[in-house]
Amino acid sequence: MKKFIAGDHLVTNIDPLGLTQHHGLCVGHNQVIHQRKDGVVELVTLAEFAEGAKIRRRAIAYDKDGAVERARSLLGYQPYHLLNSNCEHFVNWCIDENYRSDQISDSTQLTMQVFARTGLLGLSAKRIAQGSTANIVLASTAAKMIGERIGLPHSVNTVLGTPGNMVTKPIETLIHGTSDTLSMSAAHIRDGKYGKAAGSLVTGAAVTAVETTVVTPIKVVGDGIVAVADIGKDLWLWFKY
């Protein structure tokens, strides 16, 4: 089995095409900390993590000690949710305290493209999905997914995926923000606090709108710029290890 070091973001394919992956953080000594689907964050061996599949290094933590420390701090139970608290969210938080899942973003973008191109979202959406901008977005996401599949450094994949992320990340933010707002409002209604329910609905909608249209696009561009600057360092670490 290939040698990995502490701070490596590891992935294994769950399906033959590599569309679904399981993520873990190598903590050294052939051990991995990962989050199971039942929410348990546990320490296992590389062989137990692989379950017979091939393991790939997806990214390398610059702060290896910090990444391992954060992973160990979460050993035990942590609520699991496919869309906002899965194994990839867990590892990315350990590496740079950024809670994200490219797997969910890519799946969301591809699903929206399919729905739009088949006319399920209306004629206007279909025309937009068949335009040059949508084709660039689709090609960007596909290039990033291929890069991840063949094991390119994370910064390279981030640069490749930036045009696609300009669409996928705001959509993801909109979905999560809307879900959280509706859940909070529903909780207030169940408690009979109708005024708070209305207030949280208005406030949540406003915050989600700003996050979707302003904050997230700026962050995507910023991440892309940082990734360009990190390509040289990532390539050096990649070939070094």
* pLDDT of 59: 85
Q: Would you write out the chain's pLDDT as a tens digit for each of its 241 residues?
A: 568 899 999 999 887 666 678 999 999 999 999 998 888 999 999 999 998 888 988 888 889 999 999 999 999 877 776 666 789 999 999 998 877 787 777 777 778 778 777 887 778 777 877 788 888 888 888 888 888 777 778 788 889 989 888 887 887 788 778 888 998 999 999 988 888 889 999 999 999 999 999 998 898 898 889 888 888 777 777 676 6
* pLDDT of 68: 95
**What are the pLDDT digits (tens) for 67-118?**
999 999 999 877 776 666 789 999 999 998 877 787 777 777 778 778 777 8
Place of tokens 């348990």: 40
Q: For residue 222, which phi and psi values (nearest 5 degrees)?
A: -60, -45
**Beta carbons of 101 and 86 less than 8 angstroms apart:** yes
pTM comes to 0.73
Domains and CATH numbers, the chain: 8-100 (3.90.1720.10), 103-240 (no CATH)
Distance CA 103, CA 187 (A): 30
Place of tokens 């004629």: 123
State both tokens at 174: 């909109």
* pLDDT of 206: 94
DSSP codes joined into one string, 47-89: HHHHTTSPEEEEEE-SSHHHHHHHHHHT-EE---BTTTBSHHH
Which residues, including other chains, have CB under 8 Å from residue 104's CB and lie 6 or more apart?
82, 83, 86, 88, 172
Amino acid at 9: H
Which residues, including other chains, have CB under 8 Å from residue 106's CB and lie 6 or more apart?
141, 144, 145, 161, 164, 168
* pLDDT of 96: 85
User: How many alpha carbons lie under 13 Å from residue 93 in its C-beta half-sphere?
Assistant: 17
- Sign of torsion over alpha carbons 21, 22, 25, 31: negative
